[in-house]
Structure 1
Amino acid sequence: MEIPPFPKPESLEAAFALQKALAQRVVLAGSLEGVRRIAALDASHKRGKPLVAVAVLYHLERGPLSVGLGVVPEAALFPYIPGLLSFREAPAYLEALRALPEAPEALLVDGQGIAHPRGLGIAGHLGVHLDLPSLGVAKSLLYGRPEAPLPQEAGSAVRLLSPDGRPLGYAYRSRAGVKPLYVSPGHRVGVEEALAFARALPTRFRLPEPLRLAHLEAGKALRALD
């Protein structure tokens, strides 16, 4: 797939400015109804090793189709700064997407969408950069608060709200009794539609199956570097 170059900011000030500008381009509308071919994205890194990112091309009716891998040497990584993780991980994700034999219709990212202090987590950043529908499914909460306690039943969800009460996404219980996931739209999908898509994904464990496979592949790729 054709992927535009990813700009690497030369300073923290430039990174914050670019993030703010890209956040203004996020479109919080759209449905993923009819989407079948997605890229599930996860990354892994260990001190002293390159960062590896994996894109699993996954067909929602046929299962996994192929795996793309991206590797960025540790010396080339953007510094680890909370809230600016996309500048660190996105180059590896884009390399992994380039390695896929065909382009996905949407991105499913292990990370945040708009549930981010400046409205642009890794799912939003990649979605805007590639102009693809995207959503984030994160294992931990970065920003916002659930508006109510989350029931233990599988499929239960409560809205995530910003400090000023704007909806950012949902805390979502994918399986009964497991820790919640945090679903937020990244780009070209609405808040409700992002949750509906996450709920419809095949899920055998806590993570939706496409992301679980991406997580396993990323861990395997990192171990192969030892």
Structure 2
Amino acid sequence: MISAWVLAKMAYNVISIVAGLTFFYVTSQSAKPVKKQQLEESISLIINFILFIWVGKILLNIGIFVTDPLAVLAYPSDSYAFYAAVLLLLVNVVFKVRRKHLNISPLLSALVPIFLGSAFVYEFIDVVVNGNALSWGHLGLLLIVAVMFLAINERKPAVIVAGNVFAIWSAGQFLLTCLLPYSTLYGYIVARWFLIVVFIISVTVLIYNNRKRVRS
């Protein structure tokens, strides 16, 4: 049963990621060479994120992994492995920005629509295939945020767009956790503290950039 569940989840993830990449490619107004470079960098980060989930799962179950590694590898990842992967991905991005002088704006211009497109399709699959009525709330929230993204994407800097998107998404998700038994993201139950952290970071980025624009 677990193996069948894992295979189904992997299929959902692949379909969702492809949908997210397609959403970015269709909505982006950048030239094709630029979009190709953004896609390559985004796919690299997505692969790293998937690997980080496995790393997080191993680190969080290191005692069991030493004695019985297959028991850890065969078991589905939990929310804590997802949180660990998010943290490791942020560290990876910061490292690339600081050490390799990666321009964050083109990266955010790709990652934001990829996130919205992939998350929306994942929730849609969860509703249609699995009949999960609880996913309707997140599905509606993602639709609202996606419409907002399309409205401001070409008129605002990428950092501002990302800050607005994740601030509204995290606030909406937090509200859903108050109305529903739980709220999920890519099949992982999302804790309120995680949403609060995302909201605080997003608002901080918006305030910092607003003050930076005023000073300049």
Q: Would the TM-score normalized by the shorter structure come out above 0.5?
A: no
Q: Which of 1 and 2 has greater Rg?
A: 2
Q: What TM-score do the two structures reach when normalised by structure 1? A: 0.29
Q: What TM-score do the two structures reach when normalised by structure 2? A: 0.30
